[in-house]
Structure formats: C-alpha cells, structure tokens
C-alpha cells in the first residue's frame, strides 16, 4: 500500500499576464549587449532607474547621425525663434528682462526703492544720461570749485583724452580727465551733498597751506575718503563765527557767486558809537579801494563804551569788507563774528571749535535738489538732535 506524501497540494499553475511578465524580466535582457540582434525590443517596458524620466527628450527619439569625416567642422545649427530650447537666450526670457534694456539693480534685492544696491541709504545715485560740462563734473566730484577749475583749464592743467581741455567743454562717461597729469575717477551720478557747520574761533586761517605755519580750519574737519572739503567763503584770522564746508563744488559755487547775492549777517563790536551821519553813509554806500560797498541792514544792539554791539548784513564777501567799511568812517572793530550765511544760522549750542553735519534733507534743500527718499528708520534718525563734534587739530 502506497504512502501519501506529507507535502500539501499545490494549486494548478496559471499563465502570467503580460504586465507581470514584463516586470519579471531581467533588465539586462533589454540591453543591446545581452540580447541578440534579432531580439525584439519591448517599448512598454518600465525603465530600470527611478530618475530615468528626467533624461527623456520631449522632442521624441532622434534619428542617428551619419559619421562625420575627419577634419570636418560641425555645421551651425539654424536659430529657431519659436523654439525655447534652442533659443540662446531662453534662460533670460524665462527669468524676465527689464524693459528698455536696463539692467536690474545689484545689491540687497528688489523692493528697496530707487537706491537699488544702496539699500535706500544715504546718497542714492541717479545716473546722468547726457554729457555735462567739465567744470560741473569736477566740482561735483569735489576736486575744486568751478572758479578754480576754470582757472586750471586756462592754465592748461586739465586734459581730456590726452588733449588740453577748453572752457565749457562737455564730457561723458567714456572720457578720461586728468588734472596735473593724474587721472581723476569720475562718476556720472548725482548724489546728495554733505554740508558741515563749523564755529570758527579766532586764531585760525581759512587756507590749506600757510607759509607762516598758523593753524588752519581744515585740521579740525573729518577726513573724506573721496574728494575734499571746500570752504564756503572765508573769515579773517581774527574773525570768528559761522563757516560752511561742503564736498560739492557746484553747491559751493552757488553759495559764493556774487550773482546769487546771499546775505551774510555779522555781530560787530566797535570802539565808540555810530552817529546818524555815519549810519546813513554806511547804508547808502561808501567808496572803498576795490569799489563801492554798503550794508543792507545796520541795527544797534546796545552797549556802552568799548562794548557797543551792532548787527549788520551784507550781500557780498570781499576781503575784510566789514572791517574796512567801519574804518572808512573812523571807527575800529574790536570783535567781529558771523552769525548767519544765507538761510543757515549759527546754532546757539555750537561752541567755538565745534562742528556738526547738516541733515541730508536740509542739505538737499540748500542745494536746490529734491529731498531723498528715506526709510522709516532713517526718518527716525533724522528727528534726533544733531550730534556735535569737537576735534583736536591734526
């Protein structure tokens, strides 16, 4: 009697479906090196790599190219305007391109106002599209005032592109300007000027170089990285009071040129007292060595003996003009102090030898420029009291 096996009965085998048969195939069978030449290729087979779909050409399979003969150059591919894949600037059109051919601003990203890379900070640049006069560009760069630059041009000290410069010549961004043979880096941008208010004491000269070695007002000023400080007008060695400095030669020329007739106000202490005839002659006009001169306003401030004060205003700034006018009527000035220049008054808390920087918005108004666009944090900083500085002469 035969013994029954212990193995369980198996169900009858079923034929695999086509999809399961495709998945169970060895991937090496689909490669050309493993299968025979006549082996059919299954177009419905799944790819062996998970990221194989990234390498799929959306334009479909390509026909094989014929072999290129030795030494032959590859033919140029014709430019297809409507094909974004073959377009050489497809990446730019995808990212977007500014209108008018302008480049996007560099810096801290978009949405920072007109300053762009400046981050909305001080002096956001504004590009000048047209050429400007030589003396204006050099004055804005802080090289010198317009009047000094004109004298340098006449003396042949300035050249443009290797040729002597001429008065009224216009220059652009591509021109090379040299002063005394030294190349001047120019930026055709308009920036907010900087203005310093300085309380000059007696015993300082308004000059950079003094043969006698006396202290100068420039020794107390902060150092500029580019350009230099230009003094707006002058004060005598024994005269104190308000003195303005700026790094913009155009603004300095505007504040000093006689055609603008900016008023200067002085506090004058004289030895003695003026009579009515002397007051009339000083306000109507008096003849000096270099031409007629007069006070726009002469007001008595009181005092006795050698401590009698007057307030005077004048619309020009010739050398020692106020002192010479009082000397012409027989009086001596014992003390002279400038308290106002145009619309700028000497702050009461600014003591002798101290300086302060004018807020940017006020400097733009003084120069006749539109006020800068500032952020909220900068507006809060401008509302704070202006910091006063006292520096030791260098």
Residues designated as active site: 236
| Residue in 192, 195, 204, 164 with CA at minimum distance from that of residue 180 | 164
Buried-exposed string 248-259: b where 16+ CB fall within 10 A, e elsewhere: bbbbbbbbbeee
Q: Put the strands of the sheet holding 163-164 in their side by side order.
A: 163-164, 158-160, 177-179, 182-183
Q: Quote the tokens at residue 149.
A: 């630059």
**Per-residue DSSP letters for 260-313?**
G---EEEEEEESS---HHHHHHHHH-EEETTEEE--SEEEEEE--TT-EEEEEE
Contacts of 251 by beta carbon, 8 Å cutoff, 6+ apart: 193, 195, 366, 367
Question: Which H or E element spans position 337?
Answer: strand 333-341
User: Helix, strand or coil for residue 152?
Assistant: helix
Q: How far apart are CA 300 and CA 371, in angstroms?
A: 39
Buried-exposed string 164-185: b where 16+ CB fall within 10 A, e elsewhere: ebeeebebeeebebebeeeeee
Sign of the CA dihedral with 98 first, then 103, 109, and 115 last: negative
């Amino acid at each position: 009697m035969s013994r029954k096996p212990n193995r369980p009965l198996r169900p009858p085998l079923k034929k695999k479906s086509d999809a399961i048969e495709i998945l169970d195939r060895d991937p090496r069978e689909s490669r050309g090196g493993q299968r025979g030449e006549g082996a059919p290729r299954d177009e419905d087979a799944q790819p062996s790599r998970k990221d194989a779909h990234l390498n799929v050409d959306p334009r479909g399979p390509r026909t094989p190219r014929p072999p290129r003969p030795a030494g032959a150059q590859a033919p140029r591919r014709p430019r297809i305007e409507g094909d974004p894949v073959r377009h050489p600037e497809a990446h730019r059109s995808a990212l977007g391109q500014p209108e008018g051919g302008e480049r996007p601003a560099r810096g801290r990203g978009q949405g920072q106002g007109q300053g762009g890379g400046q981050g909305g900070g001080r002096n956001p640049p504004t590009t000048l599209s047209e050429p400007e006069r030589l003396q204006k560009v050099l004055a804005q760069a802080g090289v010198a005032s317009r009047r000094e630059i004109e004298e340098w041009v006449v003396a042949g000290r300035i050249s443009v592109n290797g040729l002597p410069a001429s008065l009224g010549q216009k220059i652009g961004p591509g021109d090379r300007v040299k002063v005394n043979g030294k190349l001047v880096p120019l930026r055709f941008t308009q920036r907010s000027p900087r203005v310093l208010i300085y309380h000059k004491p007696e015993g300082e000269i308004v000059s950079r170089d003094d043969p006698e070695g006396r202290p100068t007002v420039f020794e107390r000023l902060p150092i500029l990285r580019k350009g230099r400080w230009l003094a707006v007008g002058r004060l005598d060695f024994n005269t104190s009071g308000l003195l303005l400095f700026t790094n913009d030669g155009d603004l300095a020329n505007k504040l000093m040129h006689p055609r603008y007739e900016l008023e200067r106000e002085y506090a004058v202490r004289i030895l003695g007292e003026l009579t009515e005839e002397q007051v009339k002659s000083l306000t109507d006009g008096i003849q000096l060595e270099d031409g007629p001169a007069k006070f726009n306003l002469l007001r008595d401030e009181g005092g006795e003996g050698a401590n009698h004060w007057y307030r005077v205003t004048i619309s020009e700034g010739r050398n020692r003009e106020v002192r010479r006018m009082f000397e012409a009527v027989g009086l001596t000035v014992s003390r002279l102090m400038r308290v106002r220049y145009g619309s700028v008054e000497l702050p009461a808390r600014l003591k002798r030898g101290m300086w302060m920087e004018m807020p940017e918005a006020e400097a733009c108004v003084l120069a006749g420029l539109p006020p800068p666009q500032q952020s909220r944090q900068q507006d809060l900083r401008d509302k704070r009291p202006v910091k006063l500085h006292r520096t030791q002469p260098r």
